[in-house]
Structure 1
Amino acid sequence: MDIPTIKEFNKGVEEFRKYEKRDAMYKVATFMVSHFWNKPADIADGLGVLLLTWNQAFYRYGVFDFNKLERCIKNNYSEIKEYRNRHILTLSTSDEKNIKKMFNEFLEALQIDTGKMKGRKSPVSVAKTIHLLAPKFFPIWDDKIARAYGCYYNKNSAEQYIRFCKIMKDFSEKLKDKILYKNWSILKIIDEYNYSKYTKHWI
């Protein structure tokens, strides 16, 4: 993996904040998850605010079932609480089994539940969801970002996500003391760079 120079990295973050207007929804969803912590139904609503905006290209074909998402949060709540208090730098091989299980359960819960595309699944939605639940531990990806890091998820998406987590751990380790922007988790800042460079090609 090629780690960018700090100048290139900060340029990517600057371009993201200049052009990406939808990031207001990230702030709203983050607030809602935090404010309604311990209330899975309300957390599901907060996640929906982000997913239906951030991943609109996917959910324009139909919406997920909020009740299934709520149940998934409840079923994984003890693990979610643990990961919410951890940093990506603490990721170890002992986490892989739980991450794979959680990822696959959210993949089922967040599938399109109505219309012609019913049953279609989105590894992108899963990553965004678990990131909001544990923003210091779980990184965000999309199609182009996953491809750029050699983690494309057309098959074995949970395993590919674990691989992506390991790469983002290494990325975080190498840049953690150099990043200028401190208002979000390091994984959110890295995603802003990745989005600028690989998704939008702003840099």
Structure 2
Amino acid sequence: MPINIPDRQEFRKGCEEFKNHEKRDAMYKVATFLVSHFWGKPSDMADGLGVLLLTWNQAFYRYGLFDFDKLEKCLTDNLSRIENFRDRDIFTLSSSDNDDIKHLFDDLLKALQIDSGKAQGRRSPVAVAKALHLLAPKFFPLWDNKIAQAYGCYYNENPAERYVKFCEIIKDIANEVKDYTSRSEKTLLKLIDEYNYSKYTYGWI
């Protein structure tokens, strides 16, 4: 399907509308700091991820929480794989990364599933993308239901494969919009998500 590439005005408008409407960005900053500060300590890293997931993904986790011990084990088992992506940006994405991305996605999908209650076992590909982004904020893009559908990557089946495809699409978009903003403290992927969120999730632009 054809992919919409925003022009400079539309992209900046999306980021501005996000700033005007969305008040939860403080939790993103806190979670980003915690993950960075405690890098290499999976237990504390898991706590940092939890700060974001339990606020940004509250609508999902109100039915039950994930198990922090399982998330810690997932991070421990995959730390070297995660570190491979930590300092990379999405422009370095290649097909040789596909297997590692799928492995991380599937492991986090299990670790972040609801652990108890009536919704036990329910999984959230959205939570996985949020976690991956915090672990490698310049490499892994964010998505949600409406954003994934807008890019033809809806994740009702084979979510790991759909996420790899989404990464490839966002890489192409990043190449086009990389010069649209300057001197931002935010990563390019965060800005792209703000644009997507404004356009596709809420229709502010």
TM range (shorter): over 0.9
Q: Which residue is equivalent to 2:148?
A: 146
Report the Cα distance in structure 1 between the residues aligned to 2:26 and 2:63, rounded to whole angstroms: 24
Q: Secondary structure at the match of 1:127?
A: helix
Question: How far does the alpha carbon of each residue in 1:48-74 deviate from its partner, in whole angstroms, 9 at most, with x for none?
Answer: 000000001100000000000000011
Q: How far 1:143 moved relative to its partner?
A: 0.2
Q: How does 1:62-81 map to 2 (within 5 A)?
A: 62-81=64-83
Q: Which residue is equivalent to 1:94?
A: 96
Letter in 1 for 2:84: E
Residues 146 and 201, structure 2, Cα contact 8 Å, conserved in 1: yes
Q: Which residue is equivalent to 1:195?
A: 197
Task: Decide which of 8, 19, 24 is 2:21's aligned counterpart.
Answer: 19
Q: Which residue is equivalent to 2:108?
A: 106
Q: Which residue is equivalent to 1:123?
A: 125
Residues 11 and 180, structure 2, Cα contact 8 Å, conserved in 1: no
Q: How does 1:173-192 map to 2 (within 5 A)?
A: 173-180=175-182, 182-192=184-194
Report the Cα distance in structure 2 between the residues aligned to 1:25 and 1:93, rounded to whole angstroms: 33
Q: How far 1:181 moved relative to its partner?
A: 5.7
Residues 181 and 189, structure 1, Cα contact 8 Å, conserved in 2: no
Q: Which residue is equivalent to 2:12?
A: 10
TM, length-normalised to structure 1: 0.98
What is the percent sequence identity of the aligned residues? 65
Residues 126 and 143, structure 2, Cα contact 8 Å, conserved in 1: yes
Mind listing any 5+ residue stretches in structure 2 that lack a counterpart?
A: none
Letter in 1 for 2:48: G
Q: How far 1:179 moved relative to its partner?
A: 2.0
Mind listing any 5+ residue stretches in structure 1 that lack a counterpart?
A: none
Q: How far 1:178 moved relative to its partner?
A: 2.0
Q: Which residue is equivalent to 2:159?
A: 157
1:171–1:181 distance in 2 versus 1, CA, 3 Å? farther
- Aligned CA RMSD, in angstroms, stands at 0.7
Q: Which residue is equivalent to 1:39?
A: 41
Q: Which residue is equivalent to 1:85?
A: 87
